[in-house]
């Protein structure tokens, strides 16, 4: 029963497990998060007026462009990224200005000088460098520099939005001595794009452990600039997988998470998520080779999610991951991965109406629509079938167990009765056998009080006992039916502590507990009655003088016990019949032919009206093999017959 319940519980758990944040596949977790990931571009354009010695010239050098990754933390248009991704456009650091001025000088001064000598860029690098040095001081003297910065956010549906920096915690930078600069911070920036409905990514609050799987989403530069890839790569974030491999601190003592998930330039600011689709960290920096400056994979570092929450604490972002789009999108994915295709189409279409044409939404919607139109063959629902069968079995066995418990709730075993006696509870045994059973059985329990169940049905229960006295009723009816009815009547009479002897008189004798005889019985008869259930034994009645069996007849595999009356045993001797013995109540007869497997060796006649109990050979053999005391009594009687026969022979001789 316990195994059935356990199996059913496990099946139910497997079937009905909720789509909680801890029950997602890696594929579903990534699909939940990807729509919120965006390409961040920081661009600085400039207009530079330069005098290279031949009058002022205005040029627009190639813009400075920095790309990175960001993610929407709130469905109203709040975006998180690294501070160092937007720093060139936000604070316009001197090195950016210097690079733009240098490019402008090359464009306005160096290139015309090379063209005058009929040379192109790259033909004479030494000449280019000399011309640049000669013109640098002159050009810088009167240079007018007008920068124009912008930060944009590109979603996977191709929508590009201008972004404004609302909060900025400077990146960690080192000075020329290798020490952190004073304004080094957490390297986070919070951007705001125009109000609307957008996807969003929630920030996790669970603790992180070594070995926890992570997925880093972003726009690595190696993919964006790959000459063999379509320009659509700028719309969809790439995903790399790994695990948390360490807990470190940066140069100013801030916690960082180490991960072996691959990353590259362009992944900066990208979210690292776990398998519940929540943020575990933000990629902040990678590791470079000391020799060549190449990225060393397997040693990348994340800003922990808890530090992101601290950064957002005093901003309008109060509940991360909140978005109307998310509700529809997550419901659609849940239905999609459970093969509920029609519901998936409905929910994903709703998400697509809120934010249209996101790459992952379009692809998943197309697949769900195709599956809905062309349903796949569904496997036989073994899990549900197993669950149903288990529940049916639990119900069936539970009902059987309940009925059994209800029927046995007042029943006690013979051993428990002995325990009551040993503990001083002094139970009163009440013999409630039917009148017929009582009169035909010569046995009773020691000290039992006799009450007639027929009188009890009529309201007459002459029992002199306290209402809290422990009463134990017993009978010989199947399943203790008479005892159960009588116990119910006793409870109605305010006897509060009534129990039923399980197995009745037979259960007591089978437990080898003592019994009393209502009248004198030979010891062999007492043992036979203790081991017989009278209700299951055939009874035969003979009138006085009738023959029970004749000498020489087949035994028909039957022996007998004299229940009432007496039987004469006679044998033919010297042409006449001789009386060998007269057997009374409780005596066994006819067993000799069974032991010898031979015809009857004597005749049996009813000397009075007699009632016999018929014992079949199989039952007699079982009693002899399993009831040693009965076997001893039979051997004693056979021994007495042998001695008696020898004595008679000696007298005759």
Q: Over 50: is that where the pLDDT of 170 sits? A: yes
User: Beta strands 78-81 and 144-154: pairing type?
Assistant: unpaired
Q: How far is CA 323 from CA 105, 138, 156, 202, 598, in A?
A: 49, 56, 17, 10, 98
Checking phi first, is residue 271 left (phi over 0); if not, alpha (psi -120 to 50) or beta? beta
CB 427 within 8 A of CB 421: yes
**Mean pLDDT value across residues 341-362:** 93
Q: Over 80: is that where the pLDDT of 377 sits? A: no
Give tens-digit pLDDT for 19-77.
Answer: 444 568 999 999 999 999 999 999 999 998 888 777 788 888 899 999 999 999 999 99
| Residue that is written with structure tokens 């990534």 in the block | 30
3-state secondary structure of 440: helix
The pLDDT, as a whole number, for residue 11 is: 46
> Where would I find the H helices in 220-358?
221-224, 305-312, 324-337, 341-354
The pLDDT, as a whole number, for residue 105 is: 81
Name the residue among 201, 238, 233, 215 with its Cα closest to residue 300: 215
Provide the CA 335 distance to its chain's centre, in angstroms.
21
Q: Over 90: is that where the pLDDT of 331 sits? A: yes
Name the residue among 230, 319, 217, 313 with its Cα closest to residue 261: 217
How many Å from the N-terminal Cα to the C-terminal Cα in the chain? 74
Say how far apart CA 616 and CA 638 lie, in whole Å. Answer: 19
pLDDT above 70 covers a percentage of the chain that reads 90
Give tens-digit pLDDT for 586-604.
Answer: 888 988 888 889 999 999 9
Say how far apart CA 228 and CA 225 lie, in whole Å. Answer: 9
* pTM: predicted TM-score of the whole model, two decimal places: 0.57
**Mean pLDDT value across residues 548-577:** 89
Q: What single DSSP character describes residue 203? A: B
Provide the CA 397 distance to its chain's centre, in angstroms.
22
> Where would I find the H helices in 17-152?
26-33, 83-90, 94-105, 111-116, 125-141
Fold assignment, 204-312: Thrombin, subunit H (2.40.10)
**Structure-token pair, residue 84:** 């160092």
Q: Over 60: is that where the pLDDT of 256 sits? A: yes
Q: Over 90: is that where the pLDDT of 504 sits? A: no
Tell me the average pLDDT of the chain. Answer: 84
Q: How far is it between the farthest Cα atoms of the chain?
A: 170
Q: How far is CA 193 from CA 33, 68, 155, 187, 320, in A?
A: 19, 16, 11, 20, 16
Give tens-digit pLDDT for 200-224.
Answer: 999 998 889 999 999 999 988 756 6
CB 84 within 8 A of CB 74: no
Give tens-digit pLDDT for 393-443.
Answer: 888 888 877 777 777 788 889 898 889 888 888 899 999 888 877 777 778
Q: How far is CA 28 from CA 24, 34, 40, 73, in A?
A: 6, 10, 25, 19
Say how far apart CA 567 and CA 233 lie, in whole Å. Answer: 112
Give tens-digit pLDDT for 379-395.
Answer: 777 887 888 888 888 88
Q: Over 60: is that where the pLDDT of 565 sits? A: yes
Alpha-carbon torsion (238, 244, 245, 249), positive or negative: positive
Fold assignment, 411-517: Oxidized Rhodanese; domain 1 (3.40.250)
Backbone phi, psi, residue 564, to 5°? -140, 150
Query: 297 Cβ partners below 8 Å, 6+ apart?
Result: 260, 262, 263
Q: Over 90: is that where the pLDDT of 637 sits? A: no
Beta bridge partners of 603: 570
In the chain, domain spans: 204-312, 323-373, 411-517, 523-652
Query: 478 Cβ partners below 8 Å, 6+ apart?
Result: 535
Q: How far is CA 183 from CA 13, 170, 175, 435, in A?
A: 53, 6, 11, 106
Name the residue among 78, 81, 155, 29 with its Cα closest to residue 318: 78
Say how far apart CA 640 and CA 452 lie, in whole Å. Answer: 41
Torsion, Cα 255 261 262 263, to 10 degrees, reads: -40
| Residue that is written with structure tokens 């306005």 in the block | 108
Name the residue among 522, 524, 540 with its Cα closest to residue 532: 524
Say how far apart CA 588 and CA 526 lie, in whole Å. Answer: 11
The pLDDT, as a whole number, for residue 223 is: 63
Residue ranges of E strands in 471-609? 471-474, 498-501, 516-517, 538-542, 547-549, 558-564, 567-573, 576-583, 588-589, 603-606
The pLDDT, as a whole number, for residue 387 is: 86
**Structure-token pair, residue 369:** 């629509």
Task: Tell me yes or no: is domain 523-652 CATH 2.60.40.10.
Answer: no
Reported confidence tier of residue 230, pLDDT bands at 50, 70, 90: low
Give 392-413 as a DSSP string: HHHHHHHHHHHHHHHHHTTEE-
Give tens-digit pLDDT for 2-33.
Answer: 444 445 445 444 444 444 445 689 999 999 99
Say how far apart CA 379 and CA 388 lie, in whole Å. Answer: 17
Rg (CA), the chain: 51
The pLDDT, as a whole number, for residue 395 is: 84
Alpha-carbon torsion (416, 419, 425, 426), positive or negative: positive
Say how far apart CA 279 and CA 299 lie, in whole Å. Answer: 19
The pLDDT, as a whole number, for residue 401 is: 77
**Mean pLDDT value across residues 126-154:** 82
3-state secondary structure of 614: strand
CB 108 within 8 A of CB 50: yes
């Amino acid at each position: 029963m316990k195994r059935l319940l356990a199996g059913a519980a496990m099946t139910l758990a497997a079937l009905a497990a909720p789509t909680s944040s801890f029950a997602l596949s890696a594929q579903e977790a990534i699909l939940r998060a990807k729509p919120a990931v965006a390409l961040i571009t920081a661009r600085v354009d400039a207009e530079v007026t330069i005098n290279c010695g031949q009058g002022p010239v205005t040029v627009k050098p190639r813009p400075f462009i920095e790309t990175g990754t960001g993610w929407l933390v709130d469905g109203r248009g709040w975006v998180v990224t690294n501070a160092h991704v937007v720093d060139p456009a936000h604070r316009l650091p001197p090195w950016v200005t210097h690079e733009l001025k240098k490019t402008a000088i090359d464009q306005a001064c160096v290139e015309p000088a090379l063209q005058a000598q009929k040379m192109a860029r790259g033909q004479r690098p030494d000449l280019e460098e000399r011309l640049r040095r000669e013109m640098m001081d002159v050009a810088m003297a009167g240079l007018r520099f007008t920068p124009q910065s912008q930060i944009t956010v590109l979603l996977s549906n191709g929508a590009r939005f201008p972004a404004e920096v609302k909060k900025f915690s400077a990146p960690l930078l080192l000075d020329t001595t290798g020490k952190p600069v004073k304004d080094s911070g957490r390297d986070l920036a919070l951007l705001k794009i125009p109000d609307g409905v957008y996807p969003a990514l929630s920030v996790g609050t669970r603790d992180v452990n070594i070995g926890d799987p992570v997925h880093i989403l972003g726009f690595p530069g190696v993919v964006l600039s790959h000459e063999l890839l379509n320009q659509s790569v700028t719309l969809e974030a790439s995903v790399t997988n790994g695990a948390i491999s360490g807990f470190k601190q940066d140069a100013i003592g801030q916690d960082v998470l180490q991960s072996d998930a691959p990353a590259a330039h362009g992944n900066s600011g990208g979210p690292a998520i776990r398998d519940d689709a929540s943020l575990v960290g933000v990629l902040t920096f990678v590791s470079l080779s000391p020799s060549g400056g190449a990225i060393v994979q397997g040693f990348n570092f994340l800003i922990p999610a808890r530090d992101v929450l601290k950064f957002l604490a005093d901003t309008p972002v109060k509940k991360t991951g909140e978005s109307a789009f998310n509700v529809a999108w997550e419901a659609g994915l849940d239905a999609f991965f459970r093969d509920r295709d029609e519901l998936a189409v409905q929910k994903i279409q709703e998400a697509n109406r809120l934010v249209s044409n996101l790459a992952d939404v379009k692809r998943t919607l197309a697949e769900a629509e195709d599956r809905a139109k062309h349903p796949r063959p569904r496997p036989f629902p073994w899990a549900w079938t197993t669950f149903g069968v288990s529940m049916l079995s639990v119900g069936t066995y539970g009902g059987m167990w309940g009925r059994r418990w209800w029927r046995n709730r007042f029943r006690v075993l013979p051993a428990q009765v002995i325990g009551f006696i040993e503990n001083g509870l002094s139970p009163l045994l009440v013999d409630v056998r039917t009148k017929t059973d009582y009169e035909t059985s010569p046995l009773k329990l020691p000290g039992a009080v006799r009450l007639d169940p027929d009188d009890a049905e009529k309201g007459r229960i002459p029992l002199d006992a306290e209402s809290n006295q422990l009463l134990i009723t017993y009978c010989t009816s199947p399943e203790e039916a008479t005892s159960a009815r009588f116990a119910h009547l006793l409870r109605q009479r305010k006897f509060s502590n009534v129990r039923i002897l399980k197995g009745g008189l037979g259960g007591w004798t089978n437990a080898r507990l003592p019994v009393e005889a209502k009248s004198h019985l030979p010891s062999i008869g007492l043992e036979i009655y203790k081991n017989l259930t009278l209700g299951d034994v055939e009874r035969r009645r003979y009138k006085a003088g009738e023959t029970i069996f004749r000498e020489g007849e087949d035994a028909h595999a039957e022996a007998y016990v004299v229940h009432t009356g007496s039987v004469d045993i006679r044998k033919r001797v010297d042409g006449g019949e001789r009386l060998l013995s007269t057997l009374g109540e409780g005596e066994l007869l006819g067993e000799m032919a069974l032991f010898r497997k031979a015809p009857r060796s004597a005749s049996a006649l009813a000397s009075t009206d007699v009632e016999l109990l018929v014992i079949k050979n199989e039952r007699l053999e079982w009693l002899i093999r399993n009831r040693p005391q009965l076997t001893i009594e039979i051997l004693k009687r056979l021994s007495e017959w042998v001695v008696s026969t020898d004595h008679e022979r000696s007298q005759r001789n």
